Chains A and B, each alone.
Chain A
C-alpha cells in the first residue's frame, strides 16, 4: 500500500514534469533550440497566478487563464526579441542567449517581487481526496495526472491530424522545404513557443499547488528535470516527453522513499545517463537516417 501511494504521487509529480517537458520538446523539435528560459516562464506563471488570486482576489479559474495568457505572450515576445534575430546563428549562440534570457527573467523577478518566498494559494484545487482501503490519493494528484493526459492527447491529435500540425512536423524536418510549400516558418515557430509557454503556465499552477513556496528561482530545478525528461523520452517526441516525465517523477519519488532523500536527484540523472548509453536518441526518439 505504501509503495502504491509513493508510485501514484510519483506519477503526479511526473505529470508536472511531463507538461513542462512537452513545452521543451516541442520547441526543440521545431526551432531546434534548447529554451533554457522555459523553467523561468514557469516561475512567471506561478507569480502571475499568485498575485491574481492572493493579491487581486480573482477566482482560481480566471487566475489560471490569466497566467496562461501572460506566459503565452511572454514566450512569443521572448522568441521574437531574443531568438528570432539568431535564426541563422550557430546553435551555441542561441543556447547562450537562452541562458541569458533565463537569468534576465530570474533577476527581473528578484527586483520586482523580492527574494523572499511567497505562499502559493491553496484554494485552487479541492483539498483531501478519495480513500480506497488504506490508500488516500489527493485530488491534486488525480487532477494533475488527468490534466497531463488530456494535454498529451490533444497535442498528439493537433500535431498528427491537423494541417497546422503537419506544417509543424514539416518545419521540424526541413525548414527550407517547408518554406517551399508556402508554410510561414516564423509563424509556426511563434505558435510553438505560444503552446509551450501556455503549457508552462498550467505546469506552474500545478507545481505551485504541490510545492506552495514560490521564489524567483523556483523554475530552475524543475526546468532541468523537465529537460531531462524530454531527453530521456526522446527530445522532439510528444509521447516521449510524456513517458520521460512520468518515469522521472516515479523514479524520483521512489528513490526518495526507499533509498535517500539527498541522493534522489543523483539517481534521476544517473538513470538518464544509463538510458542514453543504451538508447542515445532517448526512449522514443527516432534514429535519423537519410536516403541519398
Chain B
C-alpha cells in the first residue's frame, strides 16, 4: 500500500533522513521506533507532504506522493495524527471532526462516521460542543485520532500518540489503535514507547539518526538483544 524507497530529507545542509526504505502493506500495523531526533517525525512529514524530500520516492497504491500538493494526499486516503495532537483549540470538538472530513463531499456518510467516532471515543460525544483547547491531553489525543478517521483514510499515520499521557491512558489509546486497525484501516505508527508499539505491531523498523538499522516482526524485534538494550531498558 505505502512504499517508501531510498527517501532522503534535508534541513538546509543537514541530512535528517539518509536514504531509508520501508513498506506498509494493506491491513498491517507497522511501527517505526527510534530515539528522539532519529527522524521519525521528519519521515511522517515527508509522507504527508509537509516536507519535500531531497531524493527518493513515496508511493501510495502506486500514486507518487512526492509530486503531489499535501492537501491532495489526504483525498487519496492518507490521514495523519500529528505529533503533539495539534487539534484546533479555538474550535469545538464537533468542528474539529467536521474539519477532518474536509475533503469529503458525502454529507450523509460523514454524519454516520461522526457517530462511529463517538462510539469509539464516548468522551468526545460528551464534550462535542466544548472548545478543543479545554480538553485534557488524553481527550485531545482522542480528538486528533477521531479527526483523522473522519477523512475515511485507507492508511492512518500516527506520530507519538502516547506522548505525555499517563500509562493507563497509553494503554487505552493503544487498544483503540488496534480497534481502528481491526475495522480495516492500515496503521503506520511512530513511537518512542517501543514496548507498547512492538506489542501491537505486525512489523517494525528501527530508525537511528536517519537510517533504518533493524527490521522484523514486532515480536522478533521485541526479543532482539540490541532493541532490548537500546529501547526497552535492558
Give residues in A with beta carbon < 8 Å to B: 163, 166-167, 169-170, 173-174, 176-185, 286, 289-292
Within 8 A of A (CB), among B131-181: 133, 135-137, 140, 147, 151, 164
Task: Say which residue of B69, B89, B100, B136 sits within 8 Å of A181 (CB atoms).
Answer: B100
**Is B140 a contact partner of A291 (Cβ separation < 8 A)?**
yes
* A169 surroundings in chain B (CB, below 8 A): 88, 90-91
Query: Which residue of A is nearest B50, CB measured?
Result: A176
**Is A182 a contact partner of B103 (Cβ separation < 8 A)?**
yes
> Which of B13-21, B28-36, B73-81 sits within the interface?
B73-81
**Is A181 a contact partner of B91 (Cβ separation < 8 A)?**
no
8 pairs of A and B residues whose beta carbons are closest in the complex: A182-B74, A182-B103, A177-B86, A184-B71, A181-B102, A179-B70, A182-B71, A182-B102
Cβ of B82 under 8 Å from chain A: yes
Query: Which residue of B is nearest A292, CB measured?
Result: B164
Given A177-B87, A179-B70, 7 more pairs with CB closer than 8 A: A163-B98, A166-B91, A166-B98, A170-B99, A177-B88, A180-B80, A183-B99
**Is A182 a contact partner of B91 (Cβ separation < 8 A)?**
no
Query: Which residue of B is nearest A286, CB measured?
Result: B90
**Is A183 a contact partner of B102 (Cβ separation < 8 A)?**
yes
**Is B151 a contact partner of A176 (Cβ separation < 8 A)?**
no
**Is B49 a contact partner of A173 (Cβ separation < 8 A)?**
no
**Is B102 a contact partner of A163 (Cβ separation < 8 A)?**
yes
Cβ of B95 under 8 Å from chain A: yes
**Is A182 a contact partner of B50 (Cβ separation < 8 A)?**
no
Cβ of B48 under 8 Å from chain A: yes
**Is B75 a contact partner of A176 (Cβ separation < 8 A)?**
no
Task: Say which residue of B73, B89, B137, B164 sits within 8 Å of A173 (CB atoms).
Answer: B89
* A182 surroundings in chain B (CB, below 8 A): 71-75, 102-103, 151
The distance in angstroms between the C-alpha atoms of A250 and B71, with both chains bound, is 45
The distance in angstroms between the C-alpha atoms of A163 and B73, with both chains bound, is 19
The distance in angstroms between the C-alpha atoms of A155 and B70, with both chains bound, is 28
Query: Which residue of A is nearest B76, CB measured?
Result: A182
* A166 surroundings in chain B (CB, below 8 A): 91, 95, 98-99
**Is B74 a contact partner of A180 (Cβ separation < 8 A)?**
yes
Give residues in B with beta carbon < 8 Å to A: 48-50, 69-75, 79-80, 82, 84, 86-91, 95, 98-100, 102-103, 133, 135-137, 140, 147, 151, 164
* B74 surroundings in chain A (CB, below 8 A): 180-182
The distance in angstroms between the C-alpha atoms of A177 and B79, with both chains bound, is 11
The distance in angstroms between the C-alpha atoms of A153 and B88, with both chains bound, is 23
Central interface residue in A169, A181, A291, by most chain B CB within 10 Å: A181
* B100 surroundings in chain A (CB, below 8 A): 181
Report the minimum CB–CB distance from B232 to chain A (whole Å). 26
Report the minimum CB–CB distance from A164 to chain B (whole Å). 10
The distance in angstroms between the C-alpha atoms of A137 and B73, with both chains bound, is 57
Task: Say which residue of A176, A183, A290 sits within 8 Å of B89 (CB atoms).
Answer: A290
Report the minimum CB–CB distance from B167 to chain A (whole Å). 18
* A286 surroundings in chain B (CB, below 8 A): 90
Report the minimum CB–CB distance from A26 to chain B (whole Å). 15
Query: Which residue of A is nearest B91, CB measured?
Result: A169
The distance in angstroms between the C-alpha atoms of A34 and B137, with both chains bound, is 33
The distance in angstroms between the C-alpha atoms of A139 and B91, with both chains bound, is 40
Report the minimum CB–CB distance from B67 to chain A (whole Å). 16
* B89 surroundings in chain A (CB, below 8 A): 173, 290-291
**Is A180 a contact partner of B98 (Cβ separation < 8 A)?**
no
**Is A180 a contact partner of B133 (Cβ separation < 8 A)?**
no
The distance in angstroms between the C-alpha atoms of A8 and B81, with both chains bound, is 52
**Is A181 a contact partner of B86 (Cβ separation < 8 A)?**
no
* B90 surroundings in chain A (CB, below 8 A): 169, 173, 286
Report the minimum CB–CB distance from B173 to chain A (whole Å). 17
Q: A166-B95, A185-B71 are in contact. Are A173 and B82 (CB under 8 A)?
A: no
Report the minimum CB–CB distance from B113 to chain A (whole Å). 14
**Is B91 a contact partner of A170 (Cβ separation < 8 A)?**
yes
Query: Which residue of A is nearest B86, CB measured?
Result: A177
* B140 surroundings in chain A (CB, below 8 A): 291
* A185 surroundings in chain B (CB, below 8 A): 71
Task: Say which residue of A170, A184, A291, A292 sits within 8 Å of B88 (CB atoms).
Answer: A170
* A176 surroundings in chain B (CB, below 8 A): 50, 82, 86
The distance in angstroms between the C-alpha atoms of A286 and B70, with both chains bound, is 30
Q: A166-B95, A174-B88, A182-B75 are in contact. Are A291 and B133 (CB under 8 A)?
A: yes
Report the minimum CB–CB distance from B64 to chain A (whole Å). 18
Q: A166-B98, A166-B99 are in contact. Are A181 and B151 (CB under 8 A)?
A: yes
Report the minimum CB–CB distance from A145 to chain B (whole Å). 29
The distance in angstroms between the C-alpha atoms of A291 and B103, with both chains bound, is 28
The distance in angstroms between the C-alpha atoms of A178 and B49, with both chains bound, is 12
Query: Which residue of B is nearest A180, CB measured?
Result: B80
